[in-house]
Amino acid sequence: MGRRRVSHAYQTLDAEAYRDLALGNVQLPEQSGAELATVESNPKASGACARCHGDKAQLPLSNLVPVLHGQPADYLLASLKAYAEGKRRSGIMQPLAADLRAGDMRGIAEFYAGLAAPQEQKQANSPDAASVERGRRLAVEGLPNAGVPPCVTCHNGAGSYPHLGGQHAAYMAQQLRLRKAGAGPSTESAAIMAPIAQRLSNEDIDAVSNYFGSQ
């Protein structure tokens, strides 16, 4: 009887209860979003978000890592939850997000949402003007004949959709190609984007990525 009760208790423990059990009911001090994102010694930061995503003085060093500065907090929070739940796949992000409490996620999201991108950092390679103009038309007008709406209809810097202005062009192009190939996240917003990406040519993808990246 005792063995069955113990087994049942373990089966019904949620993540919070397992954490308390593992820590022996040790109460860890609350950390601000800035501390979670930038303090290397914090085990929950696991190397710190800023190491890949930058901080108030630095953008991501790799153009394949997204710029989080100034993104809507709701979008960043939804992304962290999606990583934690496995709806967005990443060998790096998934285990880190899964170890964060809800308050930690909100703190990190609000920290990056409140950051302005350092203005002195520019793209290493400027795209040609024709590509940027083609991307501008696609972003503002869409491709009506192909059933592609204007990007700015949703990506206007508010709500749960990412702000694209100033994002790394290489990162955006990579994400669009993943969705075009049907290998993107399994979130609601990804389900909206997948058929749109599939209607874009590779030249369209490069152009619209160059346009937003050049802002």
Domain boundary among the residues 58, 81, 113 is at 113
With respect to residue 73, please indicate whether it lies within any of the assigned structural domains. yes
CATH code for the domain in which residue 39 is found = 1.10.760.10
The per-residue pLDDT for range 77-103, each reduced to its tens digit, is 999 999 999 999 888 888 889 988 899
With respect to residue 5, please indicate whether it lies within any of the assigned structural domains. no
With respect to residue 3, please indicate whether it lies within any of the assigned structural domains. no
Residues 47, 87, single domain; the answer is yes
Residue among 175, 166, 136 nearest 152 (CA): 136
pLDDT at 3 over 60: no
Give the span between the Cα atoms of 66 and 68, in whole angstroms. Answer: 6
With respect to residue 200, please indicate whether it lies within any of the assigned structural domains. yes
Q: How many CB atoms lie within 10 A of CB 130?
A: 10
Q: Per the structure, how many domains does the chain have?
A: 2
Residues 134, 107, single domain; the answer is no
Residue 151: phi and psi, rounded to 5, are: -60, -40
Mean pLDDT of the chain: 81
Q: List helix spans (H) across the chain.
A: 2-11, 15-23, 33-38, 50-53, 73-84, 93-98, 102-113, 129-141, 169-180, 188-198, 202-213
Residues 81, 147, single domain; the answer is no
Residues 71, 140, single domain; the answer is no
Task: Please tell me which of 80-84, 124-128, 155-159 the model is most confident about, judged by mean pLDDT.
Answer: 80-84
Domain boundary among the residues 113, 144, 166 is at 113
Residues 39, 107, single domain; the answer is yes
Give the span between the Cα atoms of 196 and 185, in whole angstroms. Answer: 14
Residues 155-186, buried b or exposed e (16+ Cβ, 10 A)?
beeeebbbbbbbbbbbbbbbbbbbbbeeebbe
Residue 41: phi and psi, rounded to 5, are: -80, -10
In terms of pLDDT, which residue wins out, 174 or 35? 174
Residues 97, 169, single domain; the answer is no
With respect to residue 124, please indicate whether it lies within any of the assigned structural domains. no
Residue among 118, 112, 215, 135 nearest 168 (CA): 215
pLDDT at 45 over 70: no
Give the span between the Cα atoms of 30 and 169, in whole angstroms. Answer: 36
In terms of pLDDT, which residue wins out, 54 or 42? 54
Query: Which domain, by its residues, includes 149?
Result: 129-213
Residues 106, 155, single domain; the answer is no
pLDDT at 167 over 70: yes
Q: Is the pTM of this model over 0.85?
A: no
pLDDT at 12 over 50: no
Query: How much of the chain, in percent, has pLDDT values that exceed 70?
Result: 74
With respect to residue 184, please indicate whether it lies within any of the assigned structural domains. yes
Residue among 82, 106, 77 nearest 94 (CA): 82
Residues 160, 207, single domain; the answer is yes
With respect to residue 47, please indicate whether it lies within any of the assigned structural domains. yes
Domain boundary among the residues 85, 113, 141 is at 113
Residue 120 has a pLDDT of 55
Residues 189, 145, single domain; the answer is yes
With respect to residue 119, please indicate whether it lies within any of the assigned structural domains. no
Q: Would you give the distance in Å from CA 43 to the centre of its chain?
A: 21
Residues 105, 139, single domain; the answer is no
| Helix, strand, coil percentages, rounded to 5, for the chain | 55, 0, 45
Q: List helix spans (H) across 72-187.
A: 73-84, 93-98, 102-113, 129-141, 169-180
